[in-house]
Amino acid sequence: MTHTLHRQGTQENLGEDFVVFTMSAKTVNAKGSGEKMRRFFEIVEKYKGVNYGDMKTGNILNTDRDTIHDGIRDTSIVHFVFTDKAVVGKVLDELSEAELGTSVVVSGLVEETDRLCKQAGLSMHTVEFSGGVHGKLELLPEKGVLEITTMCGHGMVASNLVREMVRQIKKGKKSLEAAGIELAKPCQCGVFNPKRAEALLEKFL
Protein backbone atom coordinates (compact mmCIF):
# COMPACT_ATOMS: atom_id res chain seq x y z
CA MET A 1 0.00 0.00 0.00
CA THR A 2 1.22 3.51 -0.73
CA HIS A 3 1.21 6.41 1.72
CA THR A 4 0.02 8.64 -1.16
CA LEU A 5 -3.41 6.95 -1.24
CA HIS A 6 -5.17 9.22 1.21
CA ARG A 7 -5.02 12.60 -0.51
CA GLN A 8 -8.35 14.39 -0.20
CA GLY A 9 -9.84 16.84 -2.65
CA THR A 10 -12.04 17.28 -5.68
CA GLN A 11 -11.63 15.63 -9.06
CA GLU A 12 -10.61 19.03 -10.38
CA ASN A 13 -7.82 19.84 -7.92
CA LEU A 14 -6.57 16.24 -7.78
CA GLY A 15 -6.30 16.25 -11.56
CA GLU A 16 -3.05 18.19 -11.30
CA ASP A 17 -1.45 16.03 -8.65
CA PHE A 18 0.62 12.97 -9.56
CA VAL A 19 3.26 11.13 -7.54
CA VAL A 20 5.61 8.76 -9.39
CA PHE A 21 7.91 6.63 -7.27
CA THR A 22 9.93 3.45 -7.22
CA MET A 23 10.75 0.86 -4.60
CA SER A 24 12.00 -2.69 -4.30
CA ALA A 25 10.54 -5.69 -2.50
CA LYS A 26 12.68 -6.73 0.46
CA THR A 27 12.39 -10.47 -0.11
CA VAL A 28 12.37 -10.38 -3.92
CA ASN A 29 14.61 -7.81 -5.60
CA ALA A 30 15.98 -5.49 -2.94
CA LYS A 31 19.61 -6.60 -3.17
CA GLY A 32 21.41 -4.31 -5.59
CA SER A 33 18.29 -2.23 -6.29
CA GLY A 34 19.89 0.99 -5.05
CA GLU A 35 21.72 1.43 -8.35
CA LYS A 36 18.49 0.90 -10.28
CA MET A 37 16.72 3.48 -8.15
CA ARG A 38 19.53 5.97 -8.72
CA ARG A 39 18.98 5.43 -12.44
CA PHE A 40 15.24 6.02 -11.90
CA PHE A 41 16.14 9.27 -10.16
CA GLU A 42 18.38 10.38 -13.03
CA ILE A 43 15.68 9.64 -15.61
CA VAL A 44 12.80 11.29 -13.78
CA GLU A 45 14.64 14.38 -12.49
CA LYS A 46 14.97 15.60 -16.09
CA TYR A 47 11.22 16.25 -16.11
CA LYS A 48 11.40 18.91 -13.38
CA GLY A 49 8.96 17.71 -10.74
CA VAL A 50 7.62 20.27 -8.26
CA ASN A 51 9.00 18.19 -5.38
CA TYR A 52 11.03 15.03 -4.93
CA GLY A 53 12.85 13.09 -2.27
CA ASP A 54 13.67 9.88 -0.48
CA MET A 55 12.39 9.17 3.01
CA LYS A 56 15.94 8.21 4.04
CA THR A 57 17.42 11.64 3.32
CA GLY A 58 14.64 14.21 2.85
CA ASN A 59 13.08 16.25 0.07
CA ILE A 60 14.53 18.87 -2.27
CA LEU A 61 12.98 21.66 -0.18
CA ASN A 62 14.80 20.66 3.03
CA THR A 63 18.04 19.21 1.62
CA ASP A 64 19.90 19.19 -1.71
CA ARG A 65 19.86 17.13 -4.88
CA ASP A 66 23.18 15.33 -4.38
CA THR A 67 22.35 14.32 -0.81
CA ILE A 68 19.16 12.67 -2.07
CA HIS A 69 20.74 11.03 -5.13
CA ASP A 70 23.92 9.82 -3.44
CA GLY A 71 22.01 8.58 -0.41
CA ILE A 72 19.78 6.18 -2.35
CA ARG A 73 20.14 2.63 -1.03
CA ASP A 74 18.47 -0.73 -1.60
CA THR A 75 15.89 0.19 1.06
CA SER A 76 15.07 3.63 -0.38
CA ILE A 77 11.77 4.81 -1.87
CA VAL A 78 12.37 7.58 -4.40
CA HIS A 79 9.46 9.95 -5.08
CA PHE A 80 8.73 12.70 -7.63
CA VAL A 81 5.65 14.96 -7.75
CA PHE A 82 4.18 16.41 -10.96
CA THR A 83 1.30 18.71 -11.82
CA ASP A 84 1.19 18.10 -15.59
CA LYS A 85 -0.25 14.81 -16.81
CA ALA A 86 1.47 15.20 -20.19
CA VAL A 87 4.82 15.23 -18.39
CA VAL A 88 3.84 12.14 -16.41
CA GLY A 89 3.11 10.43 -19.73
CA LYS A 90 6.65 11.22 -20.93
CA VAL A 91 8.09 9.95 -17.65
CA LEU A 92 6.25 6.64 -18.05
CA ASP A 93 7.38 6.33 -21.69
CA GLU A 94 11.03 6.63 -20.69
CA LEU A 95 10.72 4.39 -17.65
CA SER A 96 9.01 1.74 -19.78
CA GLU A 97 11.93 1.81 -22.21
CA ALA A 98 14.48 1.68 -19.39
CA GLU A 99 13.03 -1.52 -17.84
CA LEU A 100 14.81 -0.94 -14.55
CA GLY A 101 13.32 -3.92 -12.74
CA THR A 102 11.89 -2.15 -9.70
CA SER A 103 8.24 -1.44 -8.96
CA VAL A 104 6.94 1.91 -10.21
CA VAL A 105 3.86 3.38 -8.55
CA VAL A 106 1.81 6.22 -9.99
CA SER A 107 -0.56 7.93 -7.58
CA GLY A 108 -3.29 9.98 -9.21
CA LEU A 109 -6.88 9.82 -10.41
CA VAL A 110 -7.43 6.22 -11.49
CA GLU A 111 -8.96 6.93 -14.89
CA GLU A 112 -6.19 9.36 -15.81
CA THR A 113 -3.47 7.06 -14.51
CA ASP A 114 -4.90 4.18 -16.54
CA ARG A 115 -4.93 6.34 -19.67
CA LEU A 116 -1.31 7.40 -19.15
CA CYS A 117 -0.22 3.80 -18.64
CA LYS A 118 -1.95 2.62 -21.80
CA GLN A 119 -0.43 5.54 -23.69
CA ALA A 120 3.01 4.26 -22.64
CA GLY A 121 2.12 0.69 -23.66
CA LEU A 122 1.69 -0.43 -20.06
CA SER A 123 -1.14 -1.99 -18.11
CA MET A 124 -1.78 -1.28 -14.45
CA HIS A 125 -0.68 -4.23 -12.32
CA THR A 126 -2.63 -3.24 -9.21
CA VAL A 127 -5.15 -0.52 -8.33
CA GLU A 128 -5.51 0.59 -4.72
CA PHE A 129 -8.16 2.80 -3.16
CA SER A 130 -8.23 4.45 0.24
CA GLY A 131 -10.97 3.10 2.46
CA GLY A 132 -11.60 6.57 3.83
CA VAL A 133 -11.49 7.81 7.41
CA HIS A 134 -13.67 6.30 10.14
CA GLY A 135 -14.33 7.04 13.78
CA LYS A 136 -14.76 10.41 15.48
CA LEU A 137 -14.75 12.51 12.33
CA GLU A 138 -15.74 15.58 14.31
CA LEU A 139 -12.20 15.66 15.69
CA LEU A 140 -10.69 16.10 12.23
CA PRO A 141 -9.62 19.50 10.88
CA GLU A 142 -11.89 21.24 8.40
CA LYS A 143 -12.03 19.95 4.81
CA GLY A 144 -9.85 22.71 3.34
CA VAL A 145 -7.08 21.97 5.83
CA LEU A 146 -7.33 18.21 5.24
CA GLU A 147 -6.91 18.69 1.49
CA ILE A 148 -3.50 20.14 2.29
CA THR A 149 -2.32 17.98 5.19
CA THR A 150 -3.23 14.67 3.50
CA MET A 151 -0.65 15.39 0.80
CA CYS A 152 1.86 14.15 3.39
CA GLY A 153 0.99 10.49 3.83
CA HIS A 154 2.90 10.20 7.11
CA GLY A 155 1.07 13.09 8.75
CA MET A 156 4.12 15.33 9.14
CA VAL A 157 2.34 18.51 7.99
CA ALA A 158 0.40 19.88 10.96
CA SER A 159 -3.05 21.39 10.56
CA ASN A 160 -1.98 24.35 12.71
CA LEU A 161 0.89 25.02 10.32
CA VAL A 162 -1.66 25.33 7.51
CA ARG A 163 -3.69 27.80 9.58
CA GLU A 164 -0.54 29.77 10.42
CA MET A 165 0.39 30.00 6.74
CA VAL A 166 -3.11 31.33 5.98
CA ARG A 167 -2.68 33.96 8.70
CA GLN A 168 0.70 35.02 7.36
CA ILE A 169 -0.60 35.26 3.80
CA LYS A 170 -3.53 37.41 4.90
CA LYS A 171 -1.15 39.70 6.79
CA GLY A 172 1.08 40.04 3.72
CA LYS A 173 4.00 38.34 5.46
CA LYS A 174 4.13 35.37 3.08
CA SER A 175 3.31 34.80 -0.57
CA LEU A 176 1.26 31.79 -1.66
CA GLU A 177 4.38 30.29 -3.22
CA ALA A 178 6.47 30.72 -0.07
CA ALA A 179 3.68 29.24 2.07
CA GLY A 180 3.39 26.21 -0.22
CA ILE A 181 7.13 25.58 0.10
CA GLU A 182 7.04 26.02 3.88
CA LEU A 183 4.27 23.43 4.13
CA ALA A 184 6.20 20.98 1.94
CA LYS A 185 9.40 21.05 4.01
CA PRO A 186 8.25 18.73 6.86
CA CYS A 187 7.13 16.03 4.39
CA GLN A 188 10.32 13.96 4.51
CA CYS A 189 9.52 11.71 1.54
CA GLY A 190 8.95 14.59 -0.87
CA VAL A 191 5.41 13.58 -1.90
CA PHE A 192 3.79 16.88 -0.84
CA ASN A 193 2.71 19.01 -3.81
CA PRO A 194 3.59 22.67 -3.05
CA LYS A 195 1.96 23.97 -6.24
CA ARG A 196 -1.35 22.33 -5.38
CA ALA A 197 -0.97 23.71 -1.85
CA GLU A 198 -0.76 27.24 -3.32
CA ALA A 199 -4.10 26.79 -5.08
CA LEU A 200 -5.72 25.31 -1.98
CA LEU A 201 -4.39 28.07 0.26
CA GLU A 202 -5.85 30.69 -2.06
CA LYS A 203 -9.32 29.36 -1.27
CA PHE A 204 -8.89 30.57 2.32
CA LEU A 205 -8.39 34.20 1.25
Report how far residue 69's alpha carbon sits from residue 77's, in angstroms, rounded to the nearest whole number.
11
Report CA 72 to chain centroid distance, whole Å. Answer: 17
The helix (run of H) or strand (run of E) holding residue 182 is helix 176-184
pLDDT over 60 (residue 36): yes
- pLDDT at position 2 is 78
- Residue-wise pLDDT tens digits, 143-193: 999 999 999 999 999 999 999 999 999 999 999 999 999 999 999 999 999
Partners of residue 22 on adjacent β-strands: 78, 104
Q: Average pLDDT, whole number, for the chain?
A: 95
Helices (H), the chain: 11-14, 33-44, 65-70, 85-98, 110-119, 143-149, 159-170, 176-184, 194-202
Report how far residue 189's alpha carbon sits from residue 78's, in angstroms, rounded to the nearest whole number.
8
pLDDT over 60 (residue 1): no
